[in-house]
Amino acid sequence: MKKLSLLFLGLLLVPTLLFTSCDRGDELVDNIVGVTTPKFTLMKEYMVNNNLDVDKILTNVDGQKFVVGAPASATDVDAFLSGYYIMDIRSSADFLTAHVKGAINVPFTDILTDAPKAGIKPILIICYTGQTACYGTALLRMYGYPKTQALKWGMSGWNPATAGSWNNAINGNPAATSTNWSYNSAPSNVTYNDPKITTLLTDGNAILKERVEAIVALGFQGVNGTDVLSNPGNYFINNFFSEGDYSGFGHINGANRILPFKLADDTYLSLNPDASSLVTYCYTGQTSAVLTATLRVLGYNGASLKFGMNGLYNSNPVWASNQWSASVSKNYPTFSN
């Protein structure tokens, strides 16, 4: 009789446990014995299996980088532009003053709903500096538009009349005189846990799309370089430089160098999911924008350091490429309407 009572009690408890576990937004019950799979894992596995790992967002399976430069010659401009569905995500006032031929003015928060209008054409996103466009490019690639690209340097690189954002960003060189600029070796990487994602969805693709939609709604997430340089201890900083540039350029004191990092090989676990602000910085703020958008989708509280190394120390003599100067800007035609 005692065994029968225990069995009856167990049968009563099973549905209770199942409903309790299913209601937890960060877990999915796989079977009756209570084995759980975190929602992050479901999304991670989907991304890895569908060519959406971090490296594939930076460079897709066709070898197309997330960013594309303006054509080398003015004679190539029309052919270049005609190959894309072009979203210009700047303000309507600035768009009406000057934009590239064929561009459509689209608010950043509408990029996902506007994307189907591209049809079979790849999408080109244009902003002021290339940074917000790169952020949007990563999100569109994760949402199902893997051939999306951003115009490198944004409108600043297209015409000198629209280059104010970049020209203003390189004034000051705050790192040159900062006591928080270091040439020390990188700290050893630490292994952390996965981020936690709360959702009622149970399909990896559906979770990914929900996450992308949420991050688009928040808009670009950036941080001023001077804020990080002044108080580096307030941030988990990842310097996305090669080893040679990390020491050659110097870096913000205490910055990690976690490069590359991917989902498939667990190298992403060197990033701290509990950091109140995980700041990524690169040379121009464009690669870091892609990485930040990706990290935020994954559940990290990421921020991209605006203008990257250029905004911190543009006059640094170590530059070999990706240094902004007025000569970078082309003199290609713009249109107003």
pLDDT in tens, 190-213: 999 999 999 999 999 999 999 999
Residue 67: enclosing H or E segment and its boundaries? strand 67-68
**Per-residue pLDDT at 20:** 34
pLDDT at 239 over 50: yes
pLDDT in tens, 119-166: 999 999 999 999 999 999 999 999 999 999 999 999 999 999 999 999
Closest CA to 269 of 300, 240, 233: 300
**Per-residue pLDDT at 34:** 61
Pick the CATH number of 54-168 from 3.40.250.10, 3.40.50.2000, 3.30.1950.10, 3.40.1160.10: 3.40.250.10
**Amino acid, res. 214:** A
**Per-residue pLDDT at 9:** 41
pLDDT in tens, 18-55: 333 333 455 554 544 566 899 999 999 999 999 999 99
Q: Which regions of the chain carry the CATH code 3.40.250.10?
A: 54-168, 174-313
Stated pTM of the model: 0.91
* Strand segments (E) across 248-309: 251-252, 278-281, 302-305
Treating both helix axes as pointing N-terminal to C-terminal, what angle do 39-49 and 286-298 enclose, rounded to 10 degrees?
130
User: In terms of CATH, what superfamily is 174-313?
Assistant: Rhodanese-like domain (3.40.250.10)
**Per-residue pLDDT at 28:** 54
- Residues in the chain, total: 337
